[in-house]
Amino acid sequence: MIRSDGSQGGMAMIILGVALLILVTTSSFSFGQTKKPRTLDELAAYTGADRHQILLDGAKAEGKVVWYTSLSGVYRELVDAFKRKYPDIAVEVYRAGSTDLGPRLLNEAQAGRYVADALESTPGLLMLLRERGLLKAYTSPELSRYPDEAKTKADGARIYWVTDREAYLGFGYNTRQIASAEIPKNFQDLLRPELKGKLAVTTESSTSRVVGTLIKYKGEEFVKRLRAQEIRLFKASSAGFLDLIAAGEVAGSFVVFQNQVTVKKEKKAPVDWVPLDGVPTNAGGSAIVANAPHPHAALLFTDFIIGAEGQKLMEQFRYGVAWKEYPFKREYPERGMSSAEYENAEDKWLQLTRSISKK
């Protein structure tokens, strides 16, 4: 029934107006949801199903990624594998120790000259760069396999870095110099009389980390008692130190890397390794550099390193992976510290190392 006041026409206009409003609102919402991320900020937080394709297309347009790393050996294989998978993206590598990478990155940032896109290094440097605002928090679908303790959280699902490799410190020894009955099973056994004069350590930072773990488990007074064991101190790299053990110049040490012993054993060297109460763990982490000039390539490359292919290569070079279980308890001496606190702790541990050993 049509009323003479035209109210039916008015109602029709209201309904039409509402429909148009819903259409406009829905279209605007859809546009907002499908807007492609372009900046580093947008890309670092993006979790859409098309993320990989967006990164790949953007990386091809950028043409390259610049990677700063303190990795040795395996870094070449990682780069080659990435280039085989993504031949249109060049990889420029600057490889140096963390003590050299830090000043380089800080100087570049101070000069406003941003070169690096992605970074792989040790926690001390990563903590320093995070505190200076030089790391970009990011997310990745590859993070799902990693336990929370392997991720340094930022906000929401984003992280500053994730542990992409581990190396484990325990008791390494020459099987011809130390009998099976003399092999220590725990930290307390390091004081056994039969080991007196047979042990040695190095001036490397790995020794300091072990001393820090010893203090956590047994206390500083226990560490000081090790002086009675006549522990020798060598200025040598971890690999060079293991060569001394393999040659019989050193019988054993509680600051030896498992992965290096594994490689030596495969070459028939008379060496072996056992974990003690806690196993100090040297870790490396993958991060994105703030103001990365090639943001798509930075994230694509980092996805590769922390993903299945990159981690498989890490294992081939005898690194441990963060999400796997091992028959020992891992310890991370730097966790919970600021970079300044960790630096001070390392200095203290090094001084204690020198005080309990002899050259």
**pLDDT above 60 for 13:** no
Calculate mean pLDDT across residues 298-309.
Answer: 98
Which ranges in the chain are annotated with CATH 3.40.190.10?
Answer: 40-166+282-331, 168-281+342-358
SS (H, E, C) 27-84: HHHHHHHHCCCCCHHHHHHCCCCCHHHHHHHHHHHHCEEEEEECCCCHHHHHHHHHHH
How much is the pLDDT for 359? 65
* Full-model pTM: 0.85
Min mean pLDDT across 21-30, 280-289, 304-313 is at: 21-30
Mean pLDDT over residues 186-209, rounded?
A: 96
Indicate the pLDDT class of residue 291, thresholds 50, 70 and 90: very high
pLDDT level of residue 327 (50, 70, 90 thresholds): very high
For the chain, percent of residues with pLDDT exceeding 90: 86
Is residue 117 over pLDDT 80? yes
State the pLDDT at residue 92: 98
Residue 230 has pLDDT above 50, yes or no: yes
Per-residue confidence at 283, pLDDT binned at 50, 70, 90? very high
pLDDT at 5 over 80: no
Neighbours of 106 (CB within 10 A): 14
User: Whose CA is closest to 242, among 223, 265, 213?
Assistant: 265
Question: Which pLDDT belongs to residue 35?
Answer: 74
Categorize the per-residue pLDDT at 358 as very low, low, confident or very high, splitting at 50, 70 and 90. Answer: confident
Least Cα distance to 314 among 335, 295, 286, 337 occurs for 286
CA pair distance 271, 245, nearest whole angstrom: 7
Class of the CATH-defined domain 168-281+342-358: alpha beta
Question: What is the predicted pLDDT for the residue at 7?
Answer: 44
pLDDT for residue 73:
82
Q: Mean pLDDT of all residues in the chain?
A: 91
96 contact partners, CB below 8 Å, separation of at least 6:
68, 70, 104
Question: CA 191 to CA 200: how far, in whole Å?
Answer: 13
Can you state the angle between helices 98-110 and 123-131, rounded to 10 degrees? 20
| Pair of tokens at residue 208 | 């300091």
pLDDT greater than 50 at residue 209: yes
Four-way CATH pick for 40-166+282-331: 3.30.565.10, 3.40.50.720, 3.40.190.10, 3.40.50.1360? 3.40.190.10
Least confident of 30-34, 167-171, 278-282: 30-34
End-to-end CA distance of the chain: 108
Q: Is the per-residue pLDDT at 25 higher than 60?
A: no
What is residue 38's predicted lDDT score, i.e. its pLDDT? 82
State residue 34's pLDDT score.
Answer: 54
pLDDT score for 17: 47
What pLDDT was estimated at residue 36?
85
Whether residue 10 has pLDDT greater than 80: no
State the average pLDDT over residues 249-266: 96
In this prediction, residues 318-333 reach a mean pLDDT of: 95
